[in-house]
Each structure stands twice: as structure tokens, then as C-alpha cells.
Structure 1
């Protein structure tokens, strides 16, 4: 198809290639693409049935017709400026898109492949398929891509808005929790003063309930403040100083025995020597772990707190007997708002205690782990490495 003129075969010109055998022609006619062979001048020598059907011609009308006559004006220009030079350089062109002309005049978009065979009997083989379906596919693909981009943009916007709302909610929790501390402290102080004065037995009972409820509210507010601080990316703050771990935990356990008078609470100190940590935060860590053990452990068995000090750092381990924690719960129980059970309990927290324990350990450069198995109970261990004061 290298010729750029319009040629028609004359009687004196002979198709040296000749028509294909009937069996071969039958196979070519069933091929689902248009097939043409042209001579060196661009005159059509062969055409299959698919080509004839797509362009609206009889085979006899195509044989001897110039290939150029089957192209639109735009197709001829594209052939002259692109296809012909490429065939001259590399003898083949693959997957080029242009327009052919139907017998009735309408343009037919096609994707064309051309292979030119030079020599004394030079000829070209052309294969093409109608690109209407491809055009439709490309348009649908473009629309789908635009729709996907729109969906992605909307999703990013929703996520950004959700993040802003979550940030605002956490900030509000922090602000409200902080502002509640002063009026709560006033209530506790007033109830404590009244509790030490003259009152009836019924009044003493009510005042005791007020004091205990105030203490629970104070712990809840403290947990919410720590949770908000950790979630906002600041982490829990610590003020590291030298301390006697065993003495600190012993004092904390004495206070906890007042809160759980009916439960056995055992302390096992191991090792000796000073360590460096934030005493108030370690006391909070112990309180949370013991409170968790009291809530979910066997009420008839003791809760054991083991403190161990060594040159590499120190550990605080809290053990309780009872049912084993399922593995799927262990994997996420240090996340906020996750509890070890769904059973109702008047003493259970909102699910921040273990999250805060993890954050306290992390703030000290350490970690907290859990081991739980049937028959051996559950042990939470906070490991804190050595630190310089």
C-alpha cells in the first residue's frame, strides 16, 4: 500500500499472486477482521468477506479498485503523512487508527495493521477491524475514570471532614473533662467535710456514696484527659525522677485495699535498687491493672502484684486467676474502648484503662504485654528500661 495515488488495474496488468484456493478463501472469509492485499501501486488484489460486509461492497467491486479510494480525505492525509513514511522505513505499521469510507459514503473508523513485502512482485497485506466498539469502550473508560476520580475526591473530602470532626470531638472531650475537675473537687471536699461532722446514719450513708461516686468520676475524668492527650498526638506526659519502686507500689496497694476490702491483694517485691520513672504515672498504671484484675478476675482468688528491679530496668506484673482471655481479644485489648468481656458490671470502666497503661509504658520507653491461658490465669506485665534521671 505504498502508493499515494488512485489506481485501477487495467486488462494488461496481471495479478501475479492469483486468487487463493477456495478452501483458503473460505477460511479467510470467516476471519473476524477485514483482510486486503494490494500490489505495489495500491490496487486491491484480494479481499475477504468481512471486509466486503463492513464497507458495503461486493468482492468483485473491490478487486482492481485502488485502496486509496476506500479512505476518507482525512484517512488519505494520515496515510500520506504517517503510514507511507513508516512503511518506507520499517515495512510494517501496527495499530494505527484512521477512517475508511463505506460504499454509501459514511466514515467507518478502523484500526489498521499493514505489512509490506518488497521485491519484484511487491505487495502489501492489510488487516483492520471496525473501531466503533473500541471508540465506545474508550469513551466509557474515560467516563468511568472521571467517575472514579470524582468518587476518590469525594471520599478524601469525607475522610478529611470525619478527621476534623473526630479531632473536634476529642478536643471537646479534653476541654469538658478539664473544666469538670474544679466543680467535682468542690463536691468531694464538701462531702468530705460533712462526713466528718455530726450527721445521722442515713446522712453518713449518703455522704459516703457521694464521696465514692466523686472518686469514680475523678478517675474517669483523668482517663478521658489522658486519652485525649494521647489521641491528639502529644502522648502522655511523664516527669522522670528517682524512686523506690517497691515502696511506691506498696503504698498504692494499701490504698487499693481500701477500695477492695473484700479481695485479697498480694505484693511480691523482687530485686533491689533505685529506678527512674514518673511516680504518679506508675501509680496510675498499677491502679489500672489492679482495677482490671479485680473486675475480670476470679473474685475468690487473690490478685498478685510482682515488682522486679534490675540493672536493665524494672517490671510491674499483675496476675489474676479466672477464665482465659480469647486470643482475638488479646490482640486488640490495649486499644481504646475495648473491654475484656461484654458482661455487665457495676465496676467496669469505659475501656480506657489498658490503653492508658500502654501509653504510660510507651512514654517511659517501655511496653506492656499480656499472657492468658486456661488454668494459669492472666498476667499483665509492664516492662520499663533503665533511664537516667
Structure 2
């Protein structure tokens, strides 16, 4: 390949929505480290601990080329103003109401952020043309698919949660805008992202919390070890490198719709129980003493899927990269950070 995917143009302006979020923070930091100008948007909602979002933003503050706007992408006027003021060249939409189970309790939040908010981003890109719109989709769009590994060409019309439905609608909306207005757009189907400074609503983070609270962890697999849940756990650094390489590789305008979708997953699914055992070992190493979780087994929750497993062939072909961090290495980084951040040592 002739293109150097690791060399971003630091004369361009990168707009990152959800900049105080897990993926948004790490992507912003990586761009700023390379001297890029980054405009971050986040509404700093309280879906999970806001202090963690502020802690991430504190780590971005020292960078001269970072501008932060507290705004909600569902506020069309605010988004329009940001585009008019900063004229971004590349937009990465990571702002979304996350979580599969929460979408059953609070559907309004998902429609506002993931549908109305994304529509506002598309409209802004339409009226203030950008070189590339990259946006977060999700592995949840594969829904009830039985065939593994999941490929981008698979049938994805069987979502089993509203969250998944909103992410699938994002892909359809982006395709339409790409077709009508020639907006180069790339959707990214993330597979269970984890790592330091991660989301407290994710299982691995919750397991660590429960251990220190002296409570048992709930495992939603009926205690069926032969038919365990499988997850393609993807370390945050791999996700960021994938996004970074794809940003400078927009779909060609000559196509009917300059729109592509890629899986970003580890292509190496782990049994949930193996992941939990690895987390115990890593936490033991971080603390210098043996850690064993007390476990309570429960039925699978509505909206959960038994397996996520990414085919990464398209990603490798496009940018010469596939996620590679092992869960041992990734979880050790998480537990080291967790114990330091929460002063558990």
C-alpha cells in the first residue's frame, strides 16, 4: 500500500463527538499527540459516573490544539454552530447512548441520541461538506445471527435490542446521505471494547467493582459452561489504531454511495468464563494477593446474544491491520489502572 496510515495530516481539524467517552477520549488523545487540531463535543450525561468523564477531559486539557464544547448532538442548533465555527475536515461520531440492557428501560434516550443526534450530524456534514465521516456502529447489529464469524455482508435485519436497531438505522441513514450528497462515510462495528479508563457499565468493570464491594458477580449464562457466552473482546488501543488508519482512507466518491462498513473486533472470541478467570488473575497480580470472585449464575438477559465473533478480513484488506492485543495483556492494563485510579493497592 502506498498510503502511510500512521501519518495523519495535522493541518486538518478533527471533530470528535463523545470526546469524554471511552473511545472518544483515547482517539482524541492519540490525534493530539500527533499535533492534530481536535474539537471535542460531549454532553457529559450521567449514564455512568460523570467523574470518570471529567477525569478523561482533564488528561486532554494540557493539549493546546484541543477545544471542548459541552453540547448534545440531539441539539441541532448547537451542532450547526460547531460546524460553522470550526469547519472540521474529518468527523468521527462516537456520541451515542450506549448499553443494550439500558435500552429496554429507557428507550427515549436512544432515539434522541442515536437517531435524532446522528441525523443532525449527517445534516451538518451535508451543509458543511467534510472529507470523511466516520461513525460508530456496533456488533449488536448482527442480532440473532447464528453464523460465525460475523461478516459485513451478513443479513442484519434481526436486531434483538433497541440499541442494535438504532445502530442499524445509523448505517442506513449514512448510506442514504452518502448516496444523495456524496458524503464519504465509514461505519465501524465495534466488538466489546475494554481497557483502562473504560466504561463502568461494562461487565469487566462491574466485576471489579463488585469484588471490592464484597458482593458476588452475576453471570448471565445459566451456569452452562459447555454452552458459555462467547465475546470478541477488543482492546481500546486496537480500536483507536483501526479508526486512525480508516480516517485517512475514505471510500471513493466515484462509487454509487461512498459508504463502507467494517468490523473492528479481535477475531478471537473468548468464553466469558475464561475472560472472568483472566480478570481474576490480572487483579491478583495488580494487588499482590489472590483474587477470586464469588459467582452467581443467572439466565441470559433479554437483548443479549450468545456469541460475538468478528471477521476482520475486510479491515485487513483496507488498512493492513487487525486487532491483536490478548485479553491477558489488555486486562492487566485495565486492572493496573483500576487499582491506581480507585486507590485499591
TM norm structure 1: 0.19
TM norm structure 2: 0.21
Higher Rg of the two aligned structures: 1
Higher helix share: 1
Identify the structure with bigger relative contact order (alpha carbons < 8 Å, sequence gap 6+). 2
Higher strand share: 1
